[in-house]
Chains A and B, each alone.
Chain A
Amino acid sequence: MENNMTSTQMLKKKSTLRMPHEKAGVQAVIITVVIFCTVFSFLPLFLTVVNALKTHGQVQTNAFSLPQLATIGEAVKGNFSAAWKEIGPYYFSTILVALVGAVGKVLISAVLAYILTFKNFYFKDFIFLLFIAVLLVPSIIGYPILVPFVRDTLRLGDTYFGYLLPMVGGGQVTGMFLFRTFFSQQPKSLYESASLDGANDVTMFSMITVPLALPIILYHFVGSFAGIYNEYLWASLILGNNMTLMNIMYSVVDNSKIKYGEVYAMYLISSVPLIFTSIISMKYFKSGEFAAGLKL
């Protein structure tokens, strides 16, 4: 890949040739298809926003109709206050837990990846194998053992710590693998000169590795945050159904007496933390450049 990049730079010049797809007719078709797909991708979001502003009856008769100005105030007040009553008590704790978990996961995997990339030691291959072998084992396999282990042996059932610990401890591998691919592409010369200047590993890690790999670290952080925030299965096994947002939301919706407007308001409130992650994603990943080094 590196060879390709350098050849690109060397031969970089503005193409004057006209490609077949650049004809106006073809462009029109392409743009139509792209916009169609984009619009349809917005369907769940559209339904959520529109219906959160309507009353139960209005959603029931027509889910597509826009909110009516006359009822919007009443609907919003009713929907959001009811939704907040359900999920409010665990809202900030869920966000905090996801944040702590994501930070822990990213930090551990980054340090591990640093060691396995830049340190040379005798058992490196063995330890690396020990870690990547885990990628073959789907996490769900271990649950029948992990659940009694966390609940009964460690006695961490119904605690956020018991919820996060296996996720962080077991989730270090994916991150390590991802980071290692990127760390190994960082210029070695930087490390050599830093080393000559007397920098130790901690300095090199925090001053060189992390800044250089910031996009992929953010990518993993955003993914981990969303992953923990969206977690349902593990939460239901360790925390039951009343300690994290997703599980509360599911049990509310699973109830037969749901109020549609209220439910949509709940979705909207629970989306707020992911708005921030989306903004980060938009800023860093729009170009898709991070994908260049992505491989397993």
Chain B
Amino acid sequence: MNFNITNKDRKRAKNTCILMAVLFAVFAVLSAVFIFLTPNKQTVKALGENRELIKSQADGATGEDYFMLSDNAIYRYDAFENELISTFPLSTIGDLMQKNSETLLDGSLYKWGMKCVSDGTQTYYVLYDVNGNLFKLTDDGKNLALTEDYSISKDKREIKGCDNVGGDLYILLTENSRFRVNKYALNDVASGVKASKTLWEINDEAEEEDGVIAIKPMNTSTGILAFYATGDMLYVVTGGGNVVKVSSALADCVVNGESIDYFSIIEGDYAVLYEEYYAGYFRELLLEAEQDTYTQVQIETADKQTLVSYYGNLFADKLKKAQSDADTAAKSAAARDAEKNNKKWCDDYKRNRAELYVKEDYVDTSYYATLISGENSVSGIVYSKKSEAFYYTNDADGYLYSVEKSEVDNADHGEYLSNIDVKIEAVKCGDDQKFYNFGNGLSINEFANTLYMRFNNEQVVSIVDINDKANYSVIHTFEGDFDIYSFIGDKDNAVTHVLRQVSKVGLDGARSTELYASTYNPALFAKKTLIKTMMIVCLALTAVSLGVCLWFFAATKSDAVLSKVQIIQRDFKKNKYVYLALVGFVALLIMFCYYEAIGAISMSFFDYTREKPAWIWNNFGNYLRIFNQPNFWLSVRNMLFFLVTDLFFCIVPPLIFAFLLVLIRNKKLSGWIRSLMFIPGIIPSIATMLIWRIGIYGDDGVLNQLIGFFGGEKISFLYNTDYAMGSLIFMGFPFVGGYLIFYGGMMNIPEEYHEAGRLEGLGVIKRLLMIDIPLIMPQIKYIFIMTFIESVQNYARTFILGSSGTVTVVESMYRIMMGTQADYGMASAYATIIFAFLFVAVATNFKMQTKETMGEDL
């Protein structure tokens, strides 16, 4: 190592050291800047356990807050920073909730709804639940305060939507199987319903004859996508994609110039009339009058399907007249005849649906109409109050469509939405990114009048500017690293996206949910890729310059180090192509081996699933869960059992077979057998396993056929726990397939060893034990280690052939990774356990072996 080190070299080293120190400082600062600038999507903020996002949050007066609900409070968060602003304890309204025998908060997602409403002077939040309770909360910009509560009904009536027009508050609720809209005074909800109306829709499927159209009550089996009140119309968009418009005056359907009130009680007489009228089709008619506001008629059909229908006294007088006019014997026929000219009750018993047929001129269809979405059903719809237009997406082509409110208002019943909508060509995602927006995939930012759309992979959201109707444009499209559950925007279109609510089952079996949020800053995300690349480059350069700097610093202090530096410099110069080539290999190695191994071990300490790809520390929860699983120790036992038997069957039978082949004197025969032994290997391993599963162990398999031949009963080899493990181990009989390596090893043993053995008087068995086996130890070790590693990792055997009793650790890992949960954190914990086991078992052996090899070659 005695190189001639001159002062010139030392000086050069010193200069390099200083240069590197400067570079290091520069790169470190740059790195820090880029780290600071990088919008880190991965950082996900936990909003807390057992909190549910209240759906309506974006169209608030402040626009910057959203609300989260837990078992006992409503939390108010700042949409931008996701910071908790205030808490509204539900105990304030606890009294009222206590009155309900049912628990309000049993954890289902859409039990609560919340809407910000403003009559121009005052802003309120209306909170409602599925049991028909309505709470009016005032907001001072920070805290909510209960001003009023109102119970709509003792019955369970789910409130589906809520909206206001000025001082009128409209609530869409379900009443058994029907929809109803109630109107309240926003300033005084407690004073009660001002007007109410059952929602009817015109039935398109009904035959239209002689200008008669059928209207039917809207059935709650249709989901509601949206409910909007605006001007003199209410719009309800059904899950099937139809837009139902109703006059917000809530004056009921006008028939023959008369406004008809549905809410008077039907007298007992009419029940009898109905019964006879439907006698042919309905077995039982049940009349239930409740309060004095509505009437329920429950009819059970012949096939026991219950149909619930409502009829008011719309035709009470007329029916009464028909009844009195008709002869008792001919009542039904007379009633039918009497109605025929004006209207008739009819039922479509095949579809178990009651409908009302009305002459066309009696109904103003423009105030009472259903717009049809056509072949492509509407998958999400929003209404922009500023633009006075609906925006919707269908489930077919991935475009955004707009429909002017005025167009909808003027549209006749039955008109196709596709006739009046405008396809917004500018807003189209790729063919593979159709919209997926049930409920909250579209939302309007009232503040900036922009529209947020989530695509069907649930991770991509586009922000569309809808201010200029002539020129719609996508402002940003951003992609989260996780499924986006809901988004809340502010006037800058900065979006808080809330992750899918994650449900977890704890060790004690209790279910809990968690919510996560993170913020999207469009301006930064636009440059994200660039910033991130720069950051990585700068960090790498920082590390390299620091290393080189320190090295040269050491070199200036010590000649020994300096000479080493010089050796390496010369080596780099001389072998530059070698190093260049190695960069590729090492990159592949790091990318596909080290990254995975280190990543998996790290990930095993975190919560990380496909649904929620965020690293969240869970206090060894994965390991605790694994160790507490009843199956875990069984799987460990099975793994060890398979390991021992595999090692035995992969070494002993092939070794003996190879030895016997060596012993065969007839070399031609031995050659033939060796050739033949290649042939079974043509069957792919999966096929071999399947042959064993079905052809040999199966119900009609070879073994059961043999058993049947001798008069025995069929045995379920693979699913009976008495046989399963044995059957799996026996698979592969007679286990001699891997003999070739042993054979090759034995053939290389010099003949004189055997001759010496013979002179010593060694028999065949002693020869095997004392000469052949010791001399083929390298081959045996090779097979031993390979079998060891493969056996522990062999998931296919138990996956393809196994039953519940044969589960192994690696199979558990595979199932967790491939399952619907796709819990990668948990799978990593399994992988780490397997790795720890293998490492301890193989490392010692390997260390020895590599030392030998290295010593030999280097």
Contact = CB atoms under 8 A, between A and B. Distances in A.
A8 B750 contact: yes
Interface in A252-274: 253, 258, 260, 263-264, 266-267, 270-271, 274
Given A60-B700, A134-B597, 13 more contacts: A26-B663, A31-B666, A40-B733, A45-B679, A112-B585, A117-B857, A122-B567, A132-B846, A143-B596, A145-B596, A181-B853, A246-B686, A264-B695
A4 interface: yes
A152 B402 CA distance: 33
Given A30-B663, A63-B695, A112-B585, A47 B595 contact: no
A172 B280 CA distance: 79
Contacts of B624: none
Contacts of B577: 201
A256 to B, nearest CB: 11
Chief secondary structure at chain A's binding surface: helix
B819 interface: no
A173 interface: yes
A121 B571 CA distance: 6
A8 B750 CA distance: 6
B744 A290 contact: yes
Contact of A144 (B588, B682, B692, B828): B828
B701 A63 contact: yes
B817 A143 contact: yes
Interface residues of A, number: 116
A165 B588 CA distance: 9
A136 B842 contact: yes
A138 B793 CA distance: 8
B803 to A, nearest CB: 14
A201 B666 CA distance: 46
A51 interface: yes
A146 B597 CA distance: 9
Contact of A137 (B481, B597, B853, B858): B597
B705 interface: yes
Interface string B644-666: 00000000010001001101111
A42 B680 contact: yes
Nearest to A143: B817
B750 to A, nearest CB: 4
Contacts of B691: 44, 47-48, 267
Interface in B575-616: 575, 577-579, 581-582, 585-586, 588-589, 591-597, 599-601, 603, 610, 613
B750 A7 contact: yes
A157 to B, nearest CB: 12
Interface residues of B, number: 123
A227 B46 CA distance: 44
Contacts of B249: none
B578 A115 contact: yes
A250 B686 contact: yes
Contacts of A41: 677, 680, 734, 736-737
Contacts of B747: 287-289
B605 to A, nearest CB: 13
Contacts of A11: 750, 752
Interface string B774-797: 000011011001000100110110
7 contacts: A17-B758, A119-B578, A140-B831, A141-B831, A249-B684, A274-B683, A288-B741
Contact of B792 (A62, A136, A137, A138): A138
A270 B684 contact: yes
Nearest to B826: A144
B561 interface: no
A120 B581 CA distance: 14
A263 to B, nearest CB: 7
A8 B749 CA distance: 9
Nearest to A229: B684
Given A138-B834, A291-B745, A38 B578 contact: no
Interface of B: 481, 567-568, 571-572, 574-575, 577-579, 581-582, 585-586, 588-589, 591-597, 599-601, 603, 610, 613, 653, 657, 660-661, 663-666, 669, 671, 673-688, 690-696, 700-702, 705, 733-734, 736-737, 740-745, 747-748, 750-752, 754-755, 758-759, 763-764, 778-779, 781-782, 785, 789, 792-793, 795-796, 800, 810, 813-814, 817-818, 824-825, 827-828, 831-832, 834-835, 838-839, 842-843, 846, 849-850, 853-854, 856-858
Leading 5 A-B pairs by shortest Cβ distance = A142-B596, A288-B744, A291-B744, A169-B588, A145-B599
B586 A291 contact: no
A173 B781 CA distance: 19
A190 B679 CA distance: 38
Given A38-B673, A115-B581, A294-B779, A271 B682 contact: yes
Contact of B589 (A130, A147, A253, A286): A130
Contacts of B597: 134, 137, 141-142
Contacts of B673: 34-35, 38
A218 B778 CA distance: 21
Contacts of A237: 817-818
B585 A172 contact: yes
A272 to B, nearest CB: 8
Nearest to B846: A136
A285 B599 CA distance: 40
Contacts of A63: 695, 700-702, 705
Nearest to A114: B581
A85 interface: no
Contacts of B752: 8, 11
A132 B700 contact: no
B542 to A, nearest CB: 22
B758 A169 contact: no
Contact of B688 (A5, A44, A137, A289): A44
B588 A170 contact: yes
Contact of A288 (B589, B594, B745, B839): B745
A64 interface: yes
Given A11-B750, A42-B679, A131-B589, A233 B831 contact: no
B745 A172 contact: no
Given A34-B657, A63-B695, A271 B684 contact: yes
A111 interface: yes
A17 to B, nearest CB: 6
Interface in A117-133: 117, 119-125, 127-128, 130-132
A211 B77 CA distance: 71
Contacts of A282: 675, 678
Nearest to B703: A63
Given A138-B835, A148-B610, A275 B682 contact: yes
Nearest to A39: B734
A144 B690 contact: no
Contacts of B835: 137-138, 141
Nearest to B686: A246
A172 B589 contact: yes
A70 to B, nearest CB: 22
B466 to A, nearest CB: 31
A136 B788 CA distance: 12
A260 to B, nearest CB: 7
A211 B729 CA distance: 41
Contact of B682 (A147, A165, A278): A278
Nearest to B737: A41
A290 B832 CA distance: 35
A248 to B, nearest CB: 10
B613 to A, nearest CB: 7
A115 B582 contact: yes
B828 A145 contact: yes
Contacts of A136: 838-839, 842-843, 846
A272 B664 CA distance: 32
Contacts of A242: none
Nearest to B824: A144
A194 B839 CA distance: 42
Residue from the set A42, A236, A275, A287 with the largest chain B CB neighbour count within 10 Å:
A287
Nearest to A63: B702
Contacts of B664: 27, 30-31, 34
